[in-house]
Amino acid sequence: MMANRIVARAREELSKEEDAPAPSAASLNISRNQEEPIATQRSWLESAGRTLDDQKRPIDPYAPPLAKLRRAAGSSVSAQFGSIRYPTRAMPCKFVHLAPESSALDVVSLIVDTWKIEAPCALIALNPASSTPGGGSVQNAMSSQLNLILRRGLADAAHKTNAWVVSCGERSNEGAHLAGGANVYGANLGYDSPFIAVVAAGRMNENLDDTQNGGVHRYGAKRAAERGSRPASPLSSPKLAALGQNGIELDSHHTHFVIVDGQQEAANSLRDRIEYFISSQDVSGDGVQTPKLLLVVGGDASTLDWVRNGLDAADSATLTAVPVRIIEP
């Protein structure tokens, strides 16, 4: 298991650190992105055994990730998990609803060990969520021809590099919309690249709380019933959310959703830590620190902040980060 491999390696490094001289104060300065993620080998081991409800009583670091992840901050309730089935998509996607303080190691271990997704050799990160409550607007996105070119390019790049594609998962977001389109294109060619969304539960129009662990949530079915339409009809599609709603709809073409309890700030923080955890080390075992590509499509001021933070000079993951900005001619 990936978590076991990382923890074992951390223990080896931990024994080396105990014999090494104490670091200077200057060497202990870390960036904001390193506060929670794995800044040293020692913190790998600490994060593996940490629980949210009882910091002083760590559980077995080799326990399955779902035994360590919690549903909300300070809660003893385990993280909620299951599948989401959309009326416009044949295959359901997996989801987990967890606390914003969750360990990045546990989340990555969930994806690799529980969801059986191969560890990435590269990371492609798209736009964060818009700062507006209802998300962005794909109506202002690029032309259809350029969108098609980028969908093909993103699908091919993710497939050839064995990359994880990460977005905010909001249907109204240009980056997430592009990621969903790339997944559709790649699936038609037999690609199985993971397109992972990190979403704030507090922004969602649809509430998944009634889904039992391991169960299937039929997206839009309850709202369709309230409108008197069949759950599988086009009227229940997330494409046709009522205008004027403050919440967001999920992009149905992502393969996995990490739903973070709380508002957008909480989701942004956990996503930053997950991406840092992956891009600051070699998680795939190919001997190369995982490269990270920042792919920007449209966006607003929050997108610029995201790019700036992703290129922090004090962040070791920046060594492998490549910024890309796409502007429609």
Mean of the per-residue pLDDT values of the chain: 78
Strand pairing of 93-98 and 256-260? parallel
Query: For residue range 143-196, what is the model confidence (pLDDT) as tens digits?
Result: 788 889 999 999 999 999 999 999 999 998 989 999 999 999 999 999 999 999
Separate counts of helices (H) and strands (E) for the chain: 9, 9
What is the mean pLDDT of the segment spanning 239-257? 74
Which residue in 261, 257, 272, 322 sits closest to 302, CA to CA? 272
The pTM is what?
0.78
Which of 32-46, 141-155, 223-237 has the least mean pLDDT? Answer: 32-46
| Alpha carbon distance 309, 315 (integer Å) | 9
Query: For residue range 231-242, what is the model confidence (pLDDT) as tens digits?
Result: 555 544 544 444
Q: What pLDDT is stored for residue 40 in this prediction?
A: 36
Please check the confidence at residue 245 and state whether its pLDDT lies above 80.
no
Structural domain for 57, as ranges: 2-326
Which of 11-20, 170-179, 180-189, 267-276 has the least mean pLDDT? Answer: 11-20
For the residues of 54-114, what is the DSSP string, one character each? -TTS---TTS-HHHH-BSSTT--SBPEEEEEE-TT-SS-EEEEEE-TT--HHHHHHIIIII
Which of 53-62, 139-148, 194-203, 258-267 has the least mean pLDDT? Answer: 53-62
Choice between 34 and 269, residue whose per-residue pLDDT is larger: 269
Contacts of 189-192 with C-beta under 8 Å, sequence gap 24+, read 189/155, 189/159, 191/155, 191/158, 191/159
Strand pairing of 292-297 and 321-326? parallel
Q: State which of 22-31, 49-58, 259-268 shows the largest mean pLDDT.
A: 259-268
Q: What pLDDT is stored for residue 48 in this prediction?
A: 40
Contacts of 58-66 with C-beta under 8 Å, sequence gap 24+, read 61/3, 61/7, 62/1, 62/3, 62/4, 62/7, 64/113, 64/114, 65/3, 65/106, 65/107, 65/109, 65/110, 65/113, 65/114, 66/96, 66/110, 66/114
Phi and psi dihedrals of 72, rounded to 5? -150, 165
Q: What pLDDT is stored for residue 34 in this prediction?
A: 39
pLDDT band at 220 (very low <50, low <70, confident <90, very high): confident
| Alpha carbon distance 23, 31 (integer Å) | 17
Are 201 and 260 in contact by the 8 Å Cβ rule? The answer is yes
Number of domains in the chain: 1
Q: Scanning the structure block, which residue is given the tokens 């339409």?
A: 229
- Residue 205: strand, helix, or coil: coil
- Tokens coding 94: 């997996």
Please check the confidence at residue 42 and state whether its pLDDT lies above 70.
no
For the residues of 206-273, what is the DSSP string, one character each? S--TTPPTTEEEETTHHHHHHTT--TTSGGGSGGGPPTT-SSBPBPTT-SEEEEESSSHHHHHHHHHH
Which of 32-36, 76-80, 226-230 has the least mean pLDDT? Answer: 32-36
Q: What pLDDT is stored for residue 62 in this prediction?
A: 80
| Alpha carbon distance 303, 268 (integer Å) | 11
Q: 21: Cβ–Cβ under 8 A, 6 or more apart, which residues?
A: none
Q: What pLDDT is stored for residue 49 in this prediction?
A: 37
What is the mean pLDDT of the segment spanning 199-224? 90
| Alpha carbon distance 103, 131 (integer Å) | 25
Query: For residue range 65-96, what is the model confidence (pLDDT) as tens digits?
Result: 999 999 998 888 999 999 999 988 888 999 99
Please check the confidence at residue 115 and state whether its pLDDT lies above 70.
yes
Which of 2-16, 19-33, 154-168 has the least mean pLDDT? Answer: 19-33
